[in-house]
Amino acid sequence: MNSFAELKLDIIAFTVSAAMVAGYYLFLHFKGRSDPTYTIHRVNALARRLWVENVMRNPNKDVMAVQTLRNFIMGSSLMASTAALLVMGTLTLSGQADNIAQSWHALSLGGSYSSQLWILKVMLLLVDFIVAFFAFALSIRLANHVLFMVNIPAHDAHHSLAPRAVARRLNRAGHMFAVGMRAFFFAIPLVFWLFGPWYLLLASTTLVFTLHHLDRSDSLEELESESLAEPRQSPVISMQQAKRAT
């Protein structure tokens, strides 16, 4: 059994990394409550709700709606298949702890390289990929439900099939897809943890800064500044207008 002193660095690294990720998502939660369009996730939820309401009030857009949902389901299916392959690969990796646990720590500056701790790391990685698979599978299930609901005209819909209710189900599908993608992102620090605790800290810090850049939506001030910075194009004059001018 490993002593606490031998596992101390790994425990501290995992605790700090988990605290950084949890603190980041708490920050997003409270910022989203004060500014509903602060994150791209909330902007996407708003876009999905408006899209469903527009489709259900315009029956001539049913083909476009089916194609859009089909593309969404295909994307979720691809990610679910990827998660299933990663689960099988991680299970294969868990049976080789005695052979590669110490060799993978060759570049590590500290931490334990015992096979028991290495199996625990692999198990956490396995749970992460299983969560990703489950989230993508639920996303497919919810999108399949919406596929039939979205073609119902809004004026004939039951209250459970009203545009707001259908949009809520589609947003649940989008939320589950986002959960699956976040699980993939969280797998990056866990993979680096297999090489040592310092790599876990470095990967977690890089992940949080990268997500903070990607999760933010463009503010109104940024959009206005970009529109002012764009060069104005000269108006196109037709041949008839040029002849009239001459």
* pLDDT greater than 90 at residue 131: yes
The answer to whether residue 226 sits within a structural domain is: no
The predicted structure's pLDDT at residue 9: 82
Q: Which of these ranges, 60-64, 77-81, 122-126, 219-223, has the smallest mean pLDDT?
A: 219-223
Is 187 part of a structural domain of the chain? Answer: yes
Q: What total number of domains does the chain contain?
A: 1
Residue 81: inside a domain, yes or no? yes
- Percent of the chain at pLDDT above 90? 35
Residue range(s) defining the domain that contains residue 39:
4-221
Q: What pLDDT digit, counting tens, does each position of 72-130 carry?
A: 999 999 999 999 999 998 888 776 656 665 555 555 666 566 667 778 888 999 999 99
For residue 73, tell me if it sits in a domain. yes
Q: What is the pLDDT of residue 175?
A: 94
Which tokens hold the place of 160? 């459970």
* Comparison of pLDDT for 127 and 64, the residue scoring more: 127
Cα-Cα-Cα-Cα dihedral sign, residues 168, 171, 177, 178: negative
Q: CA nearest 136: which of 82, 168, 86, 176? A: 176
Please spell the DSSP secondary structure of 219-234, one letter per residue.
PHHHHHHHHHHSPPPP
Whether 32 is in a domain gets the answer yes
- 191-203 mean pLDDT: 87
More confident residue, 15 or 194: 15
* Residue 227 forms part of a structural domain: no
The whole-chain average pLDDT of the chain stands at 81
Report the pLDDT averaged over residues 44-68: 86
Q: How confident is residue 35, by pLDDT bands cut at 50, 70 and 90? A: confident
User: What pLDDT was estimated at residue 236?
Assistant: 47
In a domain, 238, yes or no: no
For residue 229, tell me if it sits in a domain. Answer: no
